Amino acid sequence: MSVTERNLFENQLSMEIRFSLTSEGKILSCNKNGQILADRFGNSFLDFFDEQFMQEAMDYLKSVTESSEVIPALLHDRLSGNGVGTLYNGFCKNGTLFLAGFQTQLMTRLASELVHELRNPLTVIKGFFQLSSLTQDFYKYQGVIMSEIDRMHLLLESFLKSCKNELKTKPVLPDKLSSQLIALMASECTMRRVPFDYDVAFSENACNVDISMIKQVILNLTRNALDAVEALSGRTGQLFFRGTIEPDGYRFAVEDNGIGIENHVLKKMGQPFFTTKSSGNGIGLSLSKKIVAEHGGSFCMSSVPGHGTTISFLLPFAS
């Protein structure tokens, strides 16, 4: 490849890359950027890495496959008829491929699929109710209405089952956890070209944590913060991660200098399906609150409209 070709190639790769993979790393499907990589290096995701990174990529695949995050991924694939696969996000910078989180997208997609699926039986129920009141003949339509209600029950049950992840906690030092969260935030910020910085207090007390779940919380908070700074006009946005020690536990905070939140919005935040975004699902915060509560922790949000927002959560110390 010539230098220009190589630059062009790497520029194309600096955009988000998505793959749907088997646990062995075979590519089931990918987006346009993923296709560029696949065309160049072959149809196994692992071929993208040199010897040194291959092991890392394999470990990553293994850890994701073994974690509870796979359940919604598999369910998603089943629903969309893709066969069994898992979705990964990555991006490329200076010729190195980085892997980033993916579960939020799967969860939000899954949730929107559920909402979509529930709308169908609801429309039928509404129609038949209208018919029965028009014809004054409820019994004639009762059977259809009941079977549609049963269908909704089934959909909800399978969704709830797929979301019921048992926490797999282990004691982790907060600054060690922070460094993993920082890596995740940094990669999300790089992808969306937003400056990022952090400050972490050292603690000798560990917290009992399901790392993959807390990563999901940080991803949700980071993506919200990135949306808020991208909605800015006239000043540069930036994100900050702060880890502080409190008497009862360790506080992890995501700060942004984005558009901020009006009081009436702040009151509704965290309610399932509450969103102010045209393409939002309103799932991210409610899921995050649930995960933090399952860790015995608490959530805190503060915001100055027009100036920025801090969303933090406290995880109790192990003993």
Provide the binding-site residues for ligand ATP, judged by CB under 6 A.
108, 220, 224-225, 228, 256, 258-259, 261, 265, 269, 274-277, 280-286, 309, 311
The 10 Å Cβ neighbour count of residue 113 is: 16
Q: At residue 58, what are phi and psi to the nearest 5 degrees?
A: -65, -40
CB distance 242 to 255 below 8 Å: yes
Nearer to Mg ion, 119 or 277 (CB): 277
Q: What is the DSSP string of 187-205?
A: HHHHHTT--EEEEE---S-
Q: Which does 265 bind (CB under 5 to 8 A by kind): Mg ion, ligand ATP, none?
A: ligand ATP
Q: How many CB atoms lie within 10 A of CB 90?
A: 24
Are 104 and 220 a contacting pair, CB within 8 Å? yes
Please, what is the minimum distance in Å from the beta carbon of residue 176 to ligand ATP? 26
The size of the interface with Mg ion (CB under 5 A), counted in residues, is: 2
The β-bridge partners of 86 are 21
The torsion of the CA quartet 218, 219, 224, 227, rounded to 10 degrees, works out to 140
In whole angstroms, the minimum distance from the beta carbon of 274 to Mg ion comes to 10
Q: Does 282 bind Mg ion (CB under 5 A)?
A: no
Q: Which of 20, 33, 222, 224 binds Mg ion (CB under 5 A)?
A: 224
Q: Residue 252: how many CB atoms within 10 A of its CB?
A: 26
Site string for Mg ion, 226-265 (x = CB under 5 A): ----------------------------------------
Which of residues 27 and 114 has its CB atom nearest to Mg ion in the complex?
114
Report d(CA 167, CA 169) in Å as an integer: 6
Residue 67 or residue 257: which is nearer to ligand ATP going by CB?
Answer: 257
- The smaller minimum CB distance to ligand ATP, of residues 145 and 226, is found at 226
91 burial type by CB count under 10 A (0-12 exposed, 13-18 middle, 19+ buried): buried
Q: Is 284 in the site for Mg ion (CB under 5 A)?
A: yes
Q: Which is nearer to Mg ion, 57 or 221 (CB)?
A: 221
CB of 141 to Mg ion, least distance (A): 40
Cα–Cα nearest to 291, from 229, 189, 218, 237:
218
> Do 313 and 297 meet the contact criterion of CB atoms below 8 Å apart?
yes
- Least Å distance, CB 221 to ligand ATP, is 7
Residue 261 interaction partner, one of Mg ion, ligand ATP, none, beta carbon < 5-8 Å per kind: ligand ATP
**Nearer to ligand ATP (CB atom), residue 148 or residue 256:** 256
CB of 287 to ligand ATP, least distance (A): 8
Tokens matching residue 256: 């942004």
Contact residues for Mg ion (CB under 5 A)? 224, 284
